[in-house]
Amino acid sequence: MIRLPGFIQALRGLHPGLGLVLLVALIGGGAPLQGAFGQPTNVQAVLDQGAAAGANVEQMRTVAERARQAGLSEGAVASLLEPAVALAEQDLPTDPLLSKTLEGLAKQVPASRMQPVLQQYRARTEQAGAVVTRWAQRDAVQQLLGAENAASEAAPQTNDRASLVAAIAEARQQGVAATHIESFLAGLPDGVERRPVPMSDVAAAVNVLPDLPDNGASPETATQLVTAALNAGYSPESLRQLPSALRSARQNSNRPVDVLAQGTAQAITKGAPAASVLQSLFQGSFPGGGPPPGVGNGPPGNGPPGTGPDTGKPPGTGPPDNPPDDPPRRQWSTREFRRRRAVAFSNPARHSSAAASKIRTAVVPSGAT
């Protein structure tokens, strides 16, 4: 491959006419050149490189075609493909990054704005790959995944690993802290008793993590809830429905999502099936018919039922312990009672029925009738 700046410098030493002729001949003959910024301009060479590394070449071709239709130069097209090739060369998933590239092209995002985002996503994916590699090498994790008995299932295991790497990269891209993800993964061998747990299920659980804090659940509660669901054998589809179910319960019950998530985790731990849990949440109630002990409408406390910290209401704002049978009735003097009654009934247009009712139900002084 010829680098253009150095090559032009070499041509300057030749006869001026001959240098120009050689340069035009090389360009016209299709010699692969590199731009001033080191970006490859031969898109086909990048596609071939991606195919050799195991990238999704069909998706790469779609990106190239859409980019050309958007009027991008060959150099810009190649620069959009380069992050995917770099990931494929490290045996990391490329489909999510290429999908984001297509999304950006569909939204007519300029290539100059897309490139930094794609490079960031590439870095997130590389970091996620390192996290999964370290995690999966632990003996306790291999027992959790049943990896010691899956030597003959290399392809499914590889696909599951790619899905987990992609899930972690996407969660990081959506703002989930790396420490939160790593803490969640590290706690699974002790928090999940069933064996084995497919890595694809772990990936589905990680995909849920960004949505739970958005609903108001703390990272600790989100970890507790998703770990309980994994331990109970919830399917990836049931896991995916948990955030929307909690959101519905929040809207229908006015309880904080963190409280609902805690109660849901406890109900799951006690054996509540996924269908029952999701149905209860979508209907705005706690799974199992009510909040477990210590879980109310707010942070736990020592107040009496219905008031205080247990329900998120300040003390003294609930109904009285022994409410009177009837509210206190208004009392007037005999003269005032007669005057108000005469005015109210003589000119009803000026007085509301509510006012007349107050007069009717007032305590009648003796001798007033």
- What pTM value is reported for the model? 0.69
User: Residue 39: CB partners within 8 Å, gap ≥ 6?
Assistant: 75, 78, 79, 82
CA–CA separation, 127 and 349 (whole Å)? 78
CA–CA separation, 74 and 40 (whole Å)? 8
Question: Which residue bears the tokens 């297509």?
Answer: 102
Tokens coding 274: 């996924």
pLDDT digits (tens, 9 = 90+) for 241-258: 999 999 999 999 888 999
Per DSSP, the chain holds a count of helices (H) and strands (E) of 18, 2
Which pLDDT score, from 0 to 100, does residue 159 have?
Answer: 83
Which pLDDT score, from 0 to 100, does residue 96 have?
Answer: 97
pLDDT digits (tens, 9 = 90+) for 190-241: 999 998 999 999 999 999 999 987 777 899 999 999 999 999 999 999 999 9
Q: Are 262 and 270 in contact (CB under 8 A)?
A: no
pLDDT digits (tens, 9 = 90+) for 6-27: 444 444 454 444 444 444 444 4
Tell me what the mean pLDDT of segment 267-272 comes to.
Answer: 94
Which pLDDT score, from 0 to 100, does residue 329 have?
Answer: 47
DSSP state of 148: G
The three-state secondary structure class of 35 is coil
Radius of gyration, alpha carbons of the chain: 35
State the angle between helix axes of 274-282 and 257-269 in degrees (0 to 180), rounded to the nearest 10.
160
DSSP characters over 311-340: GTB-TT-S--SS--SSPPPPB--HHHHHHH
pLDDT digits (tens, 9 = 90+) for 59-107: 999 999 999 999 999 999 999 999 999 999 999 999 999 999 999 999 9
CA–CA separation, 174 and 210 (whole Å)? 6
